[in-house]
Amino acid sequence: MTDPDQKNILKFTPRVSDKPETKRIKPPPMFNIPSATKYLTGGMIGLYALLWISGLFVTDLGRFITGLGGFISGSWTGVAPFWWWTPLTPFTSIFLHGSWMHIGMNALMLVAIGSGVEKWLGTKRFLIIFFCASWIALLTHFAFSPHSTSPIVGASGSISGLFGAILLGMRTDNSNNPLGGNILPIIIIWIVISVLMGIMGSPDGSNVAWVAHIGGFLGGIGIAHLMLQKSQK
């Protein structure tokens, strides 16, 4: 027997599309900046902006803090006072900058060069080159100016080292090097430009620690070379 009411029930089954499902591909971001490069750049810009704003309320406060956190060779040779925070200045000096032009140029260079190095070598090796190149730059400045009382600030030594590392990558991959693997001409040009900047000064009128730039640049090449040798073993 059948229930007469069930005869009047219409049953619908969903229509299955014969077209394969396609996943929506998310477009890549306009600025694909790796994490470490992005946070370092943003942190430096944010710190300088904070010090600049503080200077609007307290006269020369930002300049005073920048002077305290800068690396001073004379503090290590007895010419200038050695404060309790002096051992921290090889680290703090990297993130301090002297002007908007200074931080602007370094931020652009860090994004342009640092992104390539971080994508190539990874975040860990990128950070090793970033900090070690800066410390080599400061040691080079100290070796040539041990009695200097002028504070050294900025990430230029780090960026110079990253540029040296990316040059070594161009030497390894000849397809990206118009000079066919020979990076010596670029090294010479970089050194000449650094010396000229030291003689003429920066566009904002401040002095340029050109010796530190060269030290960081050569240090970055050396560190990247050791990394590549280790990875090939």
pLDDT band at 7 (very low <50, low <70, confident <90, very high): low
CATH homologous superfamily of 34-232: Rhomboid-like (1.20.1540.10)
Helix axes 100-109, 156-172, angle to 10 degrees: 20
pLDDT of residue 112: 95
Out of 97, 102, 141, 213, pick the active-site residue.
213
129-156 in b/e form (b: 16+ CB < 10 A) is bbbbbbbbbbbbbbeebeebebbbbbbb
pLDDT band at 53 (very low <50, low <70, confident <90, very high): very high
Which has the higher per-residue pLDDT, 227 or 26? 227
pTM, two decimals, is: 0.82
Domain locations in the chain? 34-232
Spatial contact of 33 and 60, defined as CB atoms under 8 Å apart: no
- Least confident stretch, 1-15, 106-120, 216-230: 1-15
Return the closest-CA partner of residue 80 out of 148, 145, 141, 139.
148
Out of 75, 93, 156, 158, pick the active-site residue.
156
* Helix (H/G/I), strand (E/B), else coil: 94: helix
pLDDT of residue 105: 94
Q: Which tens digit of pLDDT belongs to each residue from 124-155?
A: 999 999 999 999 999 999 999 999 999 999 99
Length of the chain as a residue count: 233
Return the closest-CA partner of residue 114 out of 68, 164, 72, 73.
164
Spatial contact of 157 and 216, defined as CB atoms under 8 Å apart: yes
pLDDT band at 59 (very low <50, low <70, confident <90, very high): confident
Residues 6+ apart with CB under 8 A from 206: 98, 99, 102
Burial class (CB in 10 A: 0-12, 13-18, 19+), 217: buried
Q: Which tens digit of pLDDT belongs to each residue from 177-233?
A: 555 567 788 888 888 988 888 777 666 666 778 899 999 999 999 999 999 988 876
Which has the higher per-residue pLDDT, 13 or 183? 183
Is residue 213 flagged as an active site residue?
yes
Q: Position 84: which residue type?
A: W
